[in-house]
Amino acid sequence: MNTIITRFPPSPTGYLHVGGARTALFNWLYARHMKGKFILRIEDTDVERSTQESVDAIFEALEWLGIDWDEGPYFQTKRFDIYKTYIQKLLDSGHAYYCTCSREKIEEMRKKAMAVGGKPKYDGTCRDKGLSQSDNAVIRFKAPLTGATVIEDIIKGNIVFQNSELDDFIIQRSNGTPTYNLAVVIDDITMGINTIIRGDDHVNNTPKQILLFKALGSPLPVFGHVPMVLGSDRSRLSKRHGAMSVTAYRDMGYLPDAFINFLVRLGWSYGDQEFFTREELIEKFTLEHIGRSAGVFNQEKLLALNADHIKVTPPTKLAEYLIPFLKQKGYETNDVSYLQKVVKTLHTRSKTLQEMAEGAVFYLQDKIDYEEKAAQKFLIPSALGTLNLLIDELMQLDHFTEKGLENIFLKIMEITQLKLGKIAQPVRVALTGKTVSPGIFEIIEVLGKEPTVRRLKDAVRFISAKS
């Protein structure tokens, strides 16, 4: 069996969006599953709209997602000589010809065709004139006038186009640059691409590309056209549904593994399974499981998947992910071992890294800011005795283990005759500034003796100053 070779060919005219990222992912997963090759190609022939900024944004998004490539990136603007060679082959074999019809003349042809209920297409005026190259001439492909072109689509099934419906499309503009359909086919031939998975908005390009493959005597790749991604209201995905750049989701605190898990489920399934690790996706991904119906972008599902992935991601990795989010909040730390301990107390209660960073702030503060309502309710004179008792007991404790801390709280409960909740809430506010946080024992264990005692003493001073 031939090595499977897939590709992802974005146009650098903007950021990498959800639909593009899903296309890249499907091709990458299939190549990895089949132990094949995945090629990155930048289709930058639209020189006016292509930018280096967009190229960099695409690379950044793919790298964040962990989608690596075996060859490339190739840039179409650096391959014009290759395209010219193949265009000449098409001219020499009679599959292409020069055309000098003006835009006005072509517009007139289209109007005439539409007036009699036909398709607005080029009528072949220059098809058999045998024109030579000239300054204003384009080169057109000589499409067959009869018969049909069939896309044997692995996802949608056979799609038939009558050749009489196609026109002699342009393969080289008058300025000498190749058109999209020509460049794509030559790239796929020269790069050995044998499997093409792309959005179904490309279906209408495919018969033209099939004709070019055949005219050049090249075997056809396997085609699979994936249904588009829709918004939650089943209309075309837009910014209001979540069609932002992929890196925007990174900045919102989503994990790359959660995001690819979400993307792959927008059109692919494996039984009823929803949660997949990256390794499971590579192991299980096949083209047969891509569905024919459109995937629906569901923000709540993405959030839930992200929470699930955060729960199973090793604390070492989460700690590294968390650093830039803490930096945004003004807390510079590279102490990964301390952050790992912090993460262990937060990972089951955080849906995003942003949320986790918010929850981690109190661990990194030198001085705690108390929420006003929390302080009014719990940092009150009646809490002073409990807090002072706890300070004394903690000062005598050498090892901050959960068992040791539990014993201290049991002792204080016995002395004060208070339930744990009555003791824990003032302590929680003293240590975190909030009424909701990870478990008290967890917090004290992570903070350690000196910071814990200092925060409790600060709370005592705060209460004393008020009363």
More confident residue, 117 or 65: 65
According to the model, what pLDDT value does residue 434 have? 95
Could you give the count of Cα atoms lying within 13 Å of 59 in the half-sphere of its Cβ? 10
pLDDT at residue 240 is higher than 80:
no
Distances (CA, A) of 402 to 27, 31, 406, 446: 49, 48, 6, 10
Give the closest residue to 400 by CA, choosing from 341, 339, 449, 342: 449
> Which range has the worst mean pLDDT, 18-32, 94-108, 392-406?
392-406
Q: Give the number of other CB atoms < 10 A from CB of residue 109.
A: 18
**Confidence (pLDDT) at 354:** 98
163-195 pLDDT, tens per residue?
999 999 999 999 999 999 999 999 999 999 999
**Hunting for tokens 């058109």 — which residue is that?**
179
Q: Per residue in 264-279, pLDDT tens?
A: 999 999 999 999 999 9
Which residue has tokens 């004393």? 464
pLDDT band at 142 (very low <50, low <70, confident <90, very high): very high
Q: Rounded to two decimals, what is the model's pTM?
A: 0.92
Predicted confidence band at 236 (pLDDT cuts at 50, 70, 90)?
A: confident
pLDDT at position 412 over 80:
yes
The predicted structure's pLDDT at residue 163: 95
Non-local CB neighbours of 242 within 8 Å, separated by 6+ positions: 18, 231, 297, 299, 302
pLDDT greater than 70 at residue 1:
no
Determine what percent of the chain is predicted with pLDDT higher than 70: 98
Task: Collect all residues with Cβ–Cβ distance below 8 Å to 1 and sequence separation of at least 6.
Answer: none
The DSSP secondary structure of 264-308, one letter per residue, reads: HTTTB--TT-----HHHHHHH--GGGB-SSPEE--HHHHHHHHHH
Instruction: Tell the residue number behind the tokens 């890249």, with chain if given.
Output: 24
- Residue 5: which of 271, 240, 290, 222 has the closest Cα? 222
End-to-end CA distance of the chain: 83
Name which of 185, 265, 171, 262 is nearest 221 in CA terms: 185
pLDDT digits (tens, 9 = 90+) for 323-341: 999 999 999 888 899 999 9
d(CA 388, CA 395): 11
The pair of structure tokens assigned to 194 is 């044998």
Mean pLDDT of 390-408: 89
| pLDDT at residue number 244 | 76
What Å distances lie between residue 356 and 255, 258, 352, 369, 459, CA to CA? 12, 16, 6, 18, 25
User: What backbone torsions phi and psi does residue 406 show, to the nearest 5 degrees?
Assistant: -60, -40
Cα(32)–Cα(37) distance, rounded to whole angstroms? 7
Question: For residue 115, how many other CB atoms are within 10 A of its CB?
Answer: 9
Mean local confidence (pLDDT), 71-83? 97
Is pLDDT above 70 for 239? no
Report H helices in 329-439.
336-346, 353-364, 372-378, 384-396, 402-416, 420-432
Identify the pLDDT of residue 242: 57
Question: Phi, psi (5° rounding) for residue 170?
Answer: -75, 135
pLDDT, position 229: 87
Per-residue pLDDT tens for 283-338?
A: 999 999 999 988 888 999 999 999 999 999 999 999 999 999 999 999 988 889 99
Domains of the chain: 5-77+228-306 (3.40.50.620), 79-226 (3.40.50.620), 315-466 (1.10.10.350)
> CA-to-CA distance for 361 and 346, rounded, in angstroms?
11
H-only helix segments in 66-160: 80-92, 103-115
CA dist list (Å): 303 to 306, 309, 325, 344, 350 = 5, 10, 17, 20, 10
Task: Answer yes or no: is pLDDT of 362 > 90.
Answer: yes
Q: Which of 111, 112, 119, 239 is catalytic?
A: 239
Annotated catalytic residue 239: yes
Average pLDDT over residues 408-433: 94
- Spatial CA neighbour of 310 closest among 296, 298, 325: 325
Distance CA 193, CA 39 (A): 9
Average pLDDT, whole number, for the chain? 94
- Average pLDDT of the residues in 448-457: 96
Long-range contacts of 238-244 (CB under 8 A, 24+ apart): 241/297, 241/299, 242/18, 242/297, 242/299, 242/302, 243/17, 243/18, 243/19, 243/297, 244/17, 244/18
Question: Band of the pLDDT at 109, cuts 50, 70, 90?
Answer: very high
| Per-residue pLDDT, 243 | 54
Percentage, residues of the chain above pLDDT 90: 87
